[in-house]
């Protein structure tokens, strides 16, 4: 048995320059560390992110209190535990917190420790991290969902939809899927430049031009796909994350323009967009409490992927409600929405059991930690959403998947979409 000797934590910084937690876990002189990411458009039901609100040295954003908790209480509690028993480690952390949304210790502290433990277990077993999850053979690579135009809470423009993504549906390998996106991104950059807009990027590495309306962004992407010699809806598909939680007032939505309109009218507009731009996937089309709207929408869009992010918050209870309500057919998986590796794996297993697609996701505030790339392969997840081909914290995940594909060699296969 490999017994944990100690856990050490420190405050480091995420891709937005905000403080976050890195935990390092030790078994004798061997250690692994992991960094917790952080969202901007967070769901109400997500696990809690603990910060030192009263400490103004970092504008209330520092994480010294949870860091200290790891260095003292957590380190002591996990001492002598078996590093390979992830469920027990996570159970201890969950119990230590004792609240439903991990408000006492903070899910950011818990998750950093949980992920570090998973990594060290793989290191001690001398296996790559992706082999330390659910899948034991026939590993498959996920399709990337690359966020190439950023709007909403991730950019300073006036785009209402938060993420305009492309998915290279016809790619036969992961490296080919990256190449296809690379070509489209470069053509998109050219087009944006020609229009006289800035080609600077948003939080997730996509361009953030000062475009006013969703349709202008969609037209630009279709143009870039065509210019690249690909067929929209066949070789490459457009996928959206509306993040509609941010666009709701009195049960009305301002998704399609500044004006707030009813669910029925919003659905009509969605259907027009889906048809016109051959959209294949829509994430968070409605608010996190609007189960009826989700159900109505799903019944009208059976053929496309409807993804619950803020709706499910990687939470088994919410996924069960959504399943019974027929709200979606896919789930976005974000480790820090729930707070431990074990709970994340439980949600993935259940989602796959009920026939939902699983999409592993980064957060808009992320880091060089590429844990989610291994998680995607190790859980047989269909897709991975980790930004554009820009900003090292996004590219780190793609690079790790390229390495995994190379290691798998002739055994590597793409997943189904």
Span 224-243, contacts to ligand PGA by CB under 6 A? 241, 243
Backbone angles phi, psi at 213, to 5 degrees: -130, 155
Interface stretch with ligand PGA, choices 11-19, 39-47, 210-218, 343-351 (CB under 6 A): 39-47
Q: Counting contacts by CB under 6 A, is residue 40 touching ligand PGA?
A: yes
Binding residue for ligand PGA, selected from 20, 33, 34, 41, defined by CB under 6 A: 41
Contact region with ligand PGA (CB under 6 A), list: 37-45, 79-87, 119-127, 313-321 = 37-45
Q: Catalytic residue among 22, 24, 163, 204, which?
A: 204
Q: Are 162 and 405 in contact (CB under 8 A)?
A: no
Q: Kindly write out the interface string for residues 264-283 of this chain, putting x where it contacts ligand PGA by CB under 6 A and - elsewhere.
A: --------------------
Could you say which of ligand PGA, Zn ion, none residue 39 binds, taking C-beta under 5 to 8 angstroms by partner kind? Answer: ligand PGA
Provide the token pair at 74: 């957590």
**Closer residue to ligand PGA (CB): 391 or 403:** 391
Identify the residue among 52, 90, 309, 366 touching Zn ion (CB under 5 A): 309
Q: Distance (Å, rounded) from C-alpha 147 to C-alpha 408?
A: 27
Check if the beta carbon of residue 245 is closer than 8 Å to that of residue 311: no
Say how far apart CA 232 and CA 226 lie, in whole Å: 7
Of 22, 52, 97, 309, the one binding ligand PGA (CB under 6 A) is 309
Question: Can residue 159 be called a binding residue for ligand PGA (CB under 6 A)?
Answer: no
* Min dist. Cβ of residue 71 to ligand PGA (A): 27
First to last CA, the chain: 39
In the list Zn ion, ligand PGA, none, the entry touching 227 (Cβ below 5 to 8 angstroms by class) is: none
C-beta nearest to Zn ion: residue: 309
Binding-site size for ligand PGA (CB under 6 A) equals 10
Virtual CA dihedral for 326, 331, 335, 336, nearest 10 degrees?
Answer: -60
Contact status: 22 vs Zn ion (CB under 5 A): no
Spatial neighbors of 268 by CB under 8 A, at least 6 apart, are none
Joined tokens for residue 178: 């990256």
Question: Taking contact as CB under 6 A, which single stretch among the options 75-83, 103-111, 222-230, 360-368 is the one that binds ligand PGA?
Answer: 360-368
Question: Are 168 and 236 in contact, with CB atoms under 8 Å apart?
Answer: yes
Residue keyed to tokens 């290191």:
123
- Report in angstroms how near the CB of residue 103 gets to Zn ion at its nearest: 23
197-205, 214-222, 239-247, 263-271 -> range binding Zn ion (CB under 5 A)? 239-247
CA separation for the pair 174, 360 (Å, rounded)? 15
237 is in the binding site of which of ligand PGA, Zn ion, none (Cβ under 5 to 8 A by kind)?
A: none
Would residue 204 show up in a list of annotated catalytic residues for this protein? yes
Taking CB under 6 A as the binding criterion, the range among 84-92, 175-183, 221-229, 361-369 that sits at the site for ligand PGA is 361-369
Looking at 241, 288, 366, 393, which residue binds Zn ion (CB under 5 A)?
A: 241
361 binds ligand PGA (CB under 6 A): yes
The residue within the footprint of ligand PGA, chosen from 39, 151, 168, 202 (CB under 6 A), is 39
User: Does residue 367 bind ligand PGA (CB under 6 A)?
Assistant: no
| Alpha-carbon gap, residue 133 to 333, rounded angstroms | 15
* Residue 245: CB minimum distance to Zn ion, A: 9
Residue that the structure tokens 């941010």 belong to: 246
Give the interface with Zn ion as residue ranges (CB under 5 A): 241, 283, 309
Cite the active site residues: 204, 334
Give the interface with ligand PGA as residue ranges (CB under 6 A): 39-42, 241, 243, 309, 361, 363-364
């Amino acid at each position: 048995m490999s017994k944990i000797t100690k856990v050490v934590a420190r405050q480091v910084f995420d891709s937005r320059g905000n403080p976050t937690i890195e935990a390092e876990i030790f078994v004798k002189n061997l250690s692994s560390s992991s960094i917790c990411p952080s969202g901007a458009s967070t769901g109400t039901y997500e696990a809690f992110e603990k910060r030192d609100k009263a400490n103004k040295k970092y504008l209330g954003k520092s994480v010294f209190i949870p860091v200290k908790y790891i260095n003292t209480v957590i380190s002591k509690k996990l001492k002598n535990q078996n590093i390979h028993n992830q469920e027990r480690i996570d159970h201890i952390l969950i119990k230590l917190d004792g609240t439903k949304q991990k408000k006492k210790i903070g899910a950011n502290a818990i998750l950093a420790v949980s992920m570090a433990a998973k990594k060290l277990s793989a290191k001690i077993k001398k296996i790559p991290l992706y082999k330390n999850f659910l899948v034991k053979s026939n590993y498959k690579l996920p399709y990337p969902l690359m966020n190439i135009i950023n709007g909403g809470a991730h950019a300073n423009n006036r785009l209402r939809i938060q993420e305009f993504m492309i998915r290279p549906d016809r790619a036969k390998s992961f490296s080919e899927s990256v190449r296809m996106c690379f070509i489209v991104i470069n053509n998109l950059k050219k087009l944006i430049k020609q229009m006289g807009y800035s080609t600077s990027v948003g939080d997730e590495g996509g361009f953030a031009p000062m475009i006013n309306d969703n349709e202008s962004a969609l037209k630009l992407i279709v143009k870039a796909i065509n210019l690249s010699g690909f067929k929209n809806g066949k070789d490459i598909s457009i996928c959206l994350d509306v993040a509609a939680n941010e666009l709701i007032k009195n049960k009305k939505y301002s998704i399609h323009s500044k004006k707030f309109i009813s669910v029925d009218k919003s659905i009509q507009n969605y259907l027009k967009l889906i048809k016109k731009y051959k959209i294949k996937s829509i994430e968070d089309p409605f608010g996190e409490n609007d189960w009826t709207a989700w159900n109505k929408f799903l019944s009208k869009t059976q053929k496309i992927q409807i993804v619950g992010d803020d709706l499910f918050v990687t939470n088994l209870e919410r996924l069960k409600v959504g399943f019974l309500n027929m709200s979606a057919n896919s789930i976005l998986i974000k480790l820090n929405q729930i707070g431990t590796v074990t709970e994340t794996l439980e949600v993935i297993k259940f989602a796959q059991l009920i026939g939902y697609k699983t999409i592993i996701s980064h957060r808009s505030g992320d880091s060089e930690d590429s844990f989610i790339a291994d998680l995607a392969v190790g859980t047989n997840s269909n897709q991975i959403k980790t930004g554009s081909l820009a900003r090292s914290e996004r590219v780190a995940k793609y690079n790790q998947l390229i390495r995994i594909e190379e290691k798998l060699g002739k055994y590597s296969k793409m997943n189904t979409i």
